[in-house]
Structure 1
Amino acid sequence: MATLSQPETKRSIPASASLSRGANYQQLAARFRPVFERIAAGTLEREQRRALPYEPIQWLKEAGFGAVRVPVESGGAGASLPDLIRLLIELGEADSNLPQALRGHFAFVEDRLNAPADASRERWFARFVAGEIVGNAWTEVGSVAIGEVQTRVTRDGERWIISGEKYYSTGTIFADWIDVFAQLDEDGRNVIAAVRADQPGVTRSDDWDGFGQRSTGSGTTRFDSAHVEAEHIIDFSTRFKYQTAFYQLVLLAVLTGVGRAALRDVSHEVRARRRIFSHGNAPSVARDAQVQQVVGEIGARVFAAEAATVQAAEAAQRAYEARFAGDAHAEHEANIAAELDSARAQVVVTELILKATTDLFNALSASGTSEVRRLDRHWRNARTAASHNPLIYKARIVGDWEINRTEPPYAWQIGAGPGGAAAAVEEPVAEQSAA
C-alpha cells in the first residue's frame, strides 16, 4: 500500500556551504543578459498579438535560469534572494510577464531549499538544473468559503490521485510540474501535491481575462484523477515560513521591471521626437527643461522602487539563512522582519511605479497614446500586478506592528464570506500572494 510521509519532526541542517548565500552578481547577470535582450526584442510584438511566451520561457530554461537559487554543490548558481530579485527585475524590464510566469516555480524552489537535506530534495535540485520548471495551481473560485479546499488528493489502490479545478494558475501552461494546493481526503490535512503537467487528467487553459499581464500563462487548470507520487505529496505545515513575503517580492520585481521599461521607453521616445509645441521651452523636446523634469522624476521613482525591493529581499534572505541556524527565536524574528519589509515595500513601490507609468505620457503628449507603441501596457501591467494583494491591508498590518507589535499573518486565504455572496476570486496563501 502506498504510504504518505508525515511532517518532519526534526530538521536536517545542511552544511553552511550548501546554502545559497549569493554569487558575483555581475558575472551571474552576464550569463542571462543576452537572453533578456533577445526576449525584449519580441515583447512589443507578443503584446500586440497577445502571444504566450513559449520560446522565451524555453530560452530561460536552456540558460539555467530556473536553477539560480539551487546551491552550487548541486549544480546551481547559489544565488541569494537579492540576486534572484535583481535578475527578475532585469527580466521584468525585458518582459514583465515572464518573472510573474516563473513566480510559482521560484516559490517551489524556495520551499525545496528549506526542506530537509535528503535524497528527495536532491532529486528536485537535479530537475531544476536540467531545466524543468514548476507552475502554480492554488486558487479556487466561485462559492468556495474561506478555509475550504475542494481539490482533493485521494488514495486509489496502490497510488494517489488528485481531482479539482484551480484558477490564477500563473505559469502553469509552460510548466513541467504543477504545485497544487489541495486537501488529503483521508485525514483532511492541507498538502502540496507536485503533479506532472504532461499526463492524462491535467488540462491547462489560457483563459485569464485581465487587462494587463496578459501573457503570464495564467487561467484555469483542471485535475481529473491525475496521478501523484506519494513522495510528491508534501504536508503544507512544512511550507517555508516566509512564503508570503517571497511571493510579494516577485511582484515587487515585476513592478520595478515595469518601471525600468517605462523609463527606457519614455527616454527613447523623447530623444526621437521632432515635433515641438509653440509654447514649449526649447527647440527640441529633448532639451525642454519641463520634459526633462518629468523623465527625471520617473527615473527617481524607479530608483527608489528598486532600492526598496532589493532591501526587502535582503530581509527574506536573512529568514532563509535563519532557517538553518538552529535558533528558533532568531528564525521567528527573521520571518517577522521579512514579512514586514515586503509589506512596507509593497505600499511604496506600487505608488511609485503607478505614478511613473502614468507620468510618462506628460512627456510625450497625444502621440504617446499610439496603439503602435502600446506604451499603455506599462500602466496596465503595473496596475494588474499591483492589484493582487491589496496594499491597503498591508499598510494596516505594518501600522498594527508599529503601534501594537502585532505579528503579521504569514499565510492567508480568500473566499466567500459568511453569507456566501462574495465569490473567491484570488489565491489562498501562496498564490494568494501570487495573485
Structure 2
Amino acid sequence: MKSLFIKTEEQRKWLEKLASLKEEFKNNAQQIDEQSVFPHEHIQKLREIGYTKITLPKELGGEGFSVYDAILIQETLASYDGSTALSIGWTVLTVGELFENKYWEPVKLENFAKAVEKGAIINRAVSEAATGSPIRGGRPGTTAKRNGDKWVITGRKSYTTGLPELDYFLTSAWIEEEEKIGFFLIHKDTPGITIEETWDVIAMRGTGSHDFVLSEVQLEESDLVEVPNYTTGFKLNGWLLVIPATYLGIAQAARDYAIQFANTHSPNSIQGTIASLPNVQALLGEIELELAKARFALYGAAQSYVDLKNREQNGRTLTVAEGEVIVNAVNVAKHTVTNAAITVVDKAMRVVGAKSLQRTNPLQRYYRDVRAGLHNPPMDDLTIKKLAELVLKQND
C-alpha cells in the first residue's frame, strides 16, 4: 500500500539510502528501550547521510524536501526505531517550517542554514509543567528580560525531545516589558544551560526528552529571532505531519511482524500456519484497512498543504477560510493516524497472542510507543473542537 504514495525517483533514492541502516537500527531498538538510552550513534549515522538537512532548501545545501517527501521518509525511518525517528523528526519539521515560512530575517536564516548544512539539529523548547501543551495558549513561565544590550533568560522547559544531541534550542520566553512571546535561538554551548535527566516514562524511552534548564542565560539582542503574531497554538503548519508519520511507521513495523508471524507460526493443532485461520485473516484485513485510512488521511493532508503553498508562491493570497480548512486537515490527519496506529498494534498483538507481551518481543514496545502519539499536539479533544467550530461557522 505504501508504494502508492511514492512519486519521485528522489524519494526512492532516499528510501534506499535509509534501507542501509535498517538492520542496525532495528537490532539496537530493544536495547535503547530497555535501558532508556539515547541513540547517539543512530543520530550520528543520520547526520552522515544528510538526513538532518532533507528539508533545508536546495539552494542552501539541503535536499529541498516538501512536507510530503519528508513524511514518506520519516515513516520508513520510524519503522526501524521509533525513538530515533521521533528525536530527529523535530529537526526535520522545524527546519522545514522555518525556511518555508521565512520566520526569521534573511541573514539569520542564511547563517543558520550553514549550521544545518553541516549536520546541526534543532528543536523548539516550548513545553512547561505549569502551562501544559503550548498549543492550548498558555503563557510561558520562562522569562526574557533586558539587561543593557543583552537578554537574560531564566526558566525550565520539559519534554525537550532529542535534548542530549541538540545543537540549537529554539526557546520560547515571555518578554515581560513588551508583554509578548519571543523565540530565542540558543546554542548548546551557551553558559547557564543544563540538562536534567527527568525522562522516565514507558513510551519512546530513547528520545531523551529531558528538562532543559536555563539559569540567567545571557544572549545577544540578535538571538531573539522570532516573535509570533498569533495568540494561540493554532496556525497553519503542515510540517507537524512529520510527527504522526512517525507513529504510522511504528504501526507498519507491527503489521510486518504480525504477517511474518502468521505465515510461519504453525501449532500442532492445525495443518499449515495460522495464516489460514479466518479469525487471523480478519485481523490482518482490519490492520490493512486501518493503515490505508491513515495513509490517505496523512498523505492527502500533506499534498493539500503542498498545493496550497505552491499557489501562495505563485502569488495567490490564502484566504482565512482556506487556512482554517487546511489547519483542520492537518489536525484530522494527526488524530486519524495516531489512533489508527494504536488500533493496528493492538490487532497485531491479537494475531501473535501472549508471545506479544514478552519483553523480547518488539510488539510490546510498539504498543507503548504508539500511545505517546496521543500526547503530541494537537490533542484529540482540540481537533474535535476545531472541527465543530468550523462547521458551525460555515453554516451561520
Name which of 199, 203, 217 aligns with 1:208: 199
CA distance in 2, matches of 1:248, 1:132: 20
Name which of 224, 238, 246 aligns with 1:246: 238
**1:331 to 1:198, Cα distance in 2 relative to 1, 3 A:** farther
C-alpha distance after superposition, 1:14-46 (max 9, x if no partner): xxxxxxxx8731123333332344322311221
Name which of 12, 25, 33 aligns with 1:47: 33
CA distance in 1, matches of 2:165, 2:89: 12
If the length of structure 2 is used for normalisation, what is the TM-score?
Answer: 0.87
**1:102 to 1:375, Cα distance in 2 relative to 1, 3 A:** same
CA distance in 1, matches of 2:339, 2:226: 37
SS at match of 2:160: coil
Name which of 33, 54, 78 aligns with 1:92: 78
State the shift of 1:221 in Å.
Answer: 0.7
Name which of 106, 126, 130 aligns with 1:138: 126
State the shift of 1:248 in Å.
Answer: 4.1
- Asked if the contact 1:263–1:298 (Cα under 8 Å) also holds between the matched residues in 2, the reply is yes
- Asked if the contact 2:284–2:348 (Cα under 8 Å) also holds between the matched residues in 1, the reply is yes
Within the alignment, does 1:82 sit opposite 2:106 as a pair?
no
Matches within 5 A, 1:25-424: 25-109=11-95, 110-115=97-102, 118-142=106-130, 147-237=138-228, 245-246=237-238, 248-276=240-268, 278=269, 282-328=271-317, 330=318, 332-388=320-376, 389-405=378-394
Structure 1 window deviating more from structure 2 (330-339 vs 83-92): it is 330-339
State the shift of 1:153 in Å.
Answer: 2.1
How much identity, in percent, do the aligned residues show?
A: 20
SS at match of 2:38: coil
State the shift of 1:143 in Å.
Answer: 7.3
State the shift of 1:245 in Å.
Answer: 4.1
* Structure with more contact order per residue of length (Cα contacts < 8 Å, sep ≥ 6): 1
Structure 2, unaligned runs of 5 or more: 1-7
**1:401 to 1:23, Cα distance in 2 relative to 1, 3 A:** farther
Structure 1 window deviating more from structure 2 (370-379 vs 53-62): it is 370-379
SS at match of 2:156: strand
CA distance in 1, matches of 2:37, 2:309: 36
The structure with more helix, counted as a fraction of residues: 2
What RMSD, in angstroms, separates the aligned Cα atoms of the two structures? Answer: 2.7
- Asked if the contact 1:182–1:192 (Cα under 8 Å) also holds between the matched residues in 2, the reply is yes
CA distance in 2, matches of 1:234, 1:250: 23
- Asked if the contact 1:256–1:353 (Cα under 8 Å) also holds between the matched residues in 2, the reply is yes
State the shift of 1:223 in Å.
Answer: 0.5
C-alpha distance after superposition, 1:85-120 (max 9, x if no partner): 111111111112233223432343112331167222
- Asked if the contact 2:105–2:225 (Cα under 8 Å) also holds between the matched residues in 1, the reply is no
State the shift of 1:399 in Å.
Answer: 2.9
Structure 1, unaligned runs of 5 or more: 1-21, 408-435
CA distance in 1, matches of 2:248, 2:33: 19
State the shift of 1:140 in Å.
Answer: 1.7
CA distance in 2, matches of 1:196, 1:294: 49
Q: Which amino acid aligns with 1:399?
A: A
CA distance in 1, matches of 2:121, 2:345: 31
Structure 1 window deviating more from structure 2 (307-316 vs 139-148): it is 139-148
CA distance in 2, matches of 1:308, 1:266: 23
CA distance in 2, matches of 1:213, 1:143: 22
CA distance in 1, matches of 2:19, 2:319: 35
Q: Which amino acid aligns with 2:145?
A: T
C-alpha distance after superposition, 1:45-70 (max 9, x if no partner): 21222221111111111211111111
CA distance in 1, matches of 2:131, 2:170: 23
- Asked if the contact 2:93–2:240 (Cα under 8 Å) also holds between the matched residues in 1, the reply is no
State the shift of 1:219 in Å.
Answer: 2.1
- Asked if the contact 1:64–1:131 (Cα under 8 Å) also holds between the matched residues in 2, the reply is yes
**1:130 to 1:26, Cα distance in 2 relative to 1, 3 A:** same
CA distance in 1, matches of 2:329, 2:249: 19
State the shift of 1:333 in Å.
Answer: 4.5
CA distance in 2, matches of 1:403, 1:186: 38
SS at match of 2:172: strand
